[in-house]
Chains A and B, each alone.
Chain A
């Protein structure tokens, strides 16, 4: 073995599919002086890649994951290691038949081709050994196939080596990851140390262990996926090559059956979650097979045997066909099911590419390599950004609880609003007990328990009658209540109070604070003290990085307010750009302040009775904030609204929160105040006002012009992404974010249906809509507009369709519903002049 060099520009740790894909893409993007290390031998160093079943199904409800997968398949094809076999998901329950329609819709939205729903007889024709009598139908996708992931890895390494970019060292174990001044400076190994500017951890389920060496966290857990291989199957002995028959996923039993040469592999996600600790995974020397092929636990698989036998009776029921290989294959699970990508928030230049499956690895590696190179990956990886995690989400308790809960949902029918059951009540606002007493139904936002609606508001249903737009279909009404719409109307017509304690709050202070904020934000930050500004952060390429409000509290004192789902990522973005000279500090005061929103036509009347200030329009205009005493409670009141109503956000120190709640609640009684949940704040209220939500309507792949958020003027000061932004403004947008309304909800069976978001928008003849940059139109947000009596969808549409009055269709559970473009850009459907807001 040759000697390690003393220095590298970048060290990639791991030679599984992820590490190999990383060195390939870094080399392709021009990186040189790359060193790749793995403690195991090549080509199979012993990680999860080595025992992967290596098949790729294309459709995923997540756009990000689906796009990574489609990109990966293209790359595998280019490498010549992809075998297209087709694949069929089969249903055993009516719910699954419905789910397939939804999967087709997601596939259409993300650009998957060749999808068909087929009858049991057609399934049988494609897979003759399957018992079609127990299935209801099949969801066939032509482009599904298998890949030789070890071969792909070898080819990728060889490419990087051939351009002189890479040296790979197998059988080299990392013993330390030294950090100086918060920056990774190299790696220590059993064969010597080397200095490096950047280190990429791509070692699958060992990643948490590696990250801890540097003081960082990669919150995943090794977990078991059971797989058996039976053979030799007489019926398959004469097939040529690796695979001839389509891969079958038996969705309702959480299993798959895949022909592999003369064998049949049966895998399961149905068994109890079996989690391992990274430190318990044996070394290559200790392992009977490989470190990640753990001993098979027969009892866990037993219940699956009969189900597998039912579906594939002839082959699996043959007593001559033996179970030749059975493992508890270890793979990585994360608390939210998404990969863990990007630079760690704890250590500069230490990157994670973990919890990545074969099907998406090359696509993800390309995105991360782009991210490392220029910060603007073509496919937005924000959902998988390692910076998304809050501290409690990095704890073992949380990781294990959620990973275990998520495991059995691998093939599950998961409702977009479905809530986690485990590890709840970890972040509670000061209002929590009061909310509970009011019958709050709590939904979780990054640990925070937030009322989605209040059962105590059920009395409003009678008052508002049909205006609450009840839902007939169980799916549409799942994880939902008409009370949300009743609360909406109560707020619009009287006044509501909303718990916003989940806001992430960052104080930016110091001599350089103004300059810093100018650099970060698109909007002018040099505003009068007491001004509240809604603004965005862009990356250098003009991609939207954040969507938030900033209060100017002093000459060099700003408070950044952002949503719980984005707060941790936004914090990293801000922190990354703080000047090195210490002239600006960021203080996380999320836990110090709770926030109560009070909105509605009566908001001023309520607050006037308790808050000691002049609440009039002249004295307290929209977009300003000031300190107000509520008796003994000192409150920062900010006149702004995400529901488009007159009202204020009241920031109060955490320990006085409950007292403020009581004051507002009591004072509000004679004005008919209602506690209002996030169902209104996050959906119905904002949709009527066409307010965008980061992660749904706004993301890096779309720009501010397309989002209809182009400001009238561009500030003179420089800011990140300004040059790109100027270019975006000068060019005609490829798509525009529009509000659409559903013209007719009635399905073919006469049931009124309500879309839930992420559905494809189609032309009148049912074809997909694609913009000039190849992006398909889909519903970015969906929800009721009870004050309008309309159901609202938002979608990016190419300019030819982005015109008020244009008729289109939306696909929902296999049926097409007529929709009309109701507004283009940021123009709201309700109160376009913002009279309510500025009342």
Chain B
């Protein structure tokens, strides 16, 4: 039997679980093993039906009052009980934050090896897995041992695909035995992200200006855009060197290191020392007149054009949409 942990949070299923399920099914088919799933709490009819479509014939559903809020050790204990009862050949989870965490707890509890973020696996007495290293910049081929192979599957590496033949899912609800230790670390509350004026280091949106801004006054439109998005304004070293912004606003190796969701760079050439400061940005949007500038090799999105026209147009569009 091959087991797949289906991750859900307050009724919402993590889609990456179905990617893990797809890889698990491929292995199950090769070794002619039944495919089981496990989940915590309740399972909607839709979920059960979808699991069937993906080739699952049994869903182990752990139910316990203490599982209503997330507690990684307790969640892991639920899986360990299935492992103990059914001795699967392998247990899979999504290589998501919780999937990796829960599987690590399972591994620690059972003293089994675990391979995180796999993109391929071959069955056998030992599994041969291909997994991500360096966040995907490198791959590792490794031998994974253990009575039950523990794997997580790297998100976005295997497209989720339903089985050729749907299965009818038997739901096996059970109540895991949770110890006090399983509940020592758990979620006690949730809070929404706060808003308000924030620093360059904390901002979710940073609007940065380079030489292309042209003057200290030129930064006004950048301020405006940042205000609209609740972000912060910074500048390259050239800009602080020219005295257009105070030194405290410098983004770069020798200034602030930023880590926003989006860095909007305006008229910045993309000097290495600047980009080192901005490498924590999840996404970079470059607004620049030169399509050959270094920044274009680092940016995810670009607008080719004069920032003095583009930035006000973006501000106007934001206002228009907000009404």
Contact = CB atoms under 8 A, between A and B. Distances in A.
Interface string A270-282: 0000000000000
Which of B238, B247, B297 has the most CB atoms of chain A within a 10 A radius of its CB? Answer: B247
A325 B247 CA distance: 16
Contact of B248 (A148, A237, A242, A260): A237
Chief secondary structure at chain A's binding surface? loop
B247 A44 contact: no
Interface string A241-277: 1100000000000000000111100000000000000
B149 interface: no
Interface string A292-334: 0100000000000000000000000000000011000000000
Interface in A219-237: 229, 231-232, 236-237
A811 B242 CA distance: 41
B241 A261 contact: yes
Contacts of B294: 41-44
A240 interface: yes
Contact of B247 (A46, A151, A232): A232
Interface in B240-274: 240-243, 246-248, 250, 253-255, 269-273
A228 B237 CA distance: 16
B247 A236 contact: yes
Contacts of A289: 272-273, 276
Contacts of B254: 229, 231, 260-261, 263, 324-325
Nearest to B275: A289
A50 interface: yes
A170 interface: yes
Contacts of B97: none
Contact of A151 (B238, B240, B253): B238
B45 interface: no
B211 A325 contact: no
B163 interface: no
A46 B273 CA distance: 11
B293 interface: yes
B292 A42 contact: yes
Contact of A262 (B248, B272, B292): B248
A162 to B, nearest CB: 15
A75 B255 CA distance: 30
Contact of A242 (B242, B246, B269): B242
Given A148-B238, A241-B241, A324-B254, A43 B269 contact: yes
A325 B246 contact: no
B271 A261 contact: no
A792 B299 CA distance: 67
Contacts of A457: none
A261 B250 contact: yes
A715 B290 CA distance: 60
A184 interface: no
B297 A324 contact: no
A652 to B, nearest CB: 60
Nearest to B211: A151
A41 B276 contact: no
A240 to B, nearest CB: 4
Nearest to B248: A237
Interface in A28-60: 41-44, 46, 50
A239 B293 contact: no
A161 interface: no
Contacts of A229: 253-254
B292 A50 contact: no
Interface string B292-308: 11101100000000000
A140 B211 CA distance: 32
A171 interface: yes
A41 B211 contact: no
Contacts of B269: 42-44, 150
A348 B290 CA distance: 36
Given A237-B248, A263-B254, A325-B253, A41 B243 contact: no
Nearest to B292: A170
B246 A41 contact: no
A607 B290 CA distance: 78
Contact of A41 (B240, B270, B273): B270
A238 B253 CA distance: 19
Interface in B114-134: none
Interface in B154-186: none
Nearest to A285: B297
B134 to A, nearest CB: 13
Contacts of A241: 241-243
Contact of A232 (B241, B248, B270, B296): B248
Contacts of A42: 269, 290, 292-294
Nearest to A325: B253
A780 interface: no
A238 to B, nearest CB: 8
Contacts of A150: 269, 271
B246 A44 contact: no
A290 interface: yes
A712 interface: no
Contacts of A151: 211, 238
Given A41-B292, A50-B271, A170-B292, A237 B247 contact: yes
Contacts of A240: 243
A236 B247 CA distance: 9
Contacts of A46: 272
A229 B273 CA distance: 12
B272 A290 contact: yes
A43 B290 CA distance: 11
Interface of A: 1, 41-44, 46, 50, 148, 150-151, 170-171, 229, 231-232, 236-242, 260-263, 289-290, 293, 324-325
Given A41-B296, A171-B292, A325-B254, 11 more contacts: A41-B270, A42-B290, A44-B272, A148-B241, A150-B271, A151-B211, A151-B238, A232-B255, A237-B247, A260-B254, A293-B272
5 contacts: A42-B269, A240-B243, A242-B242, A290-B272, A324-B253
| Closest 10 A/B residue pairs (Cβ) | A262-B247, A242-B241, A41-B294, A241-B243, A240-B243, A325-B253, A290-B272, A261-B247, A324-B254, A263-B254
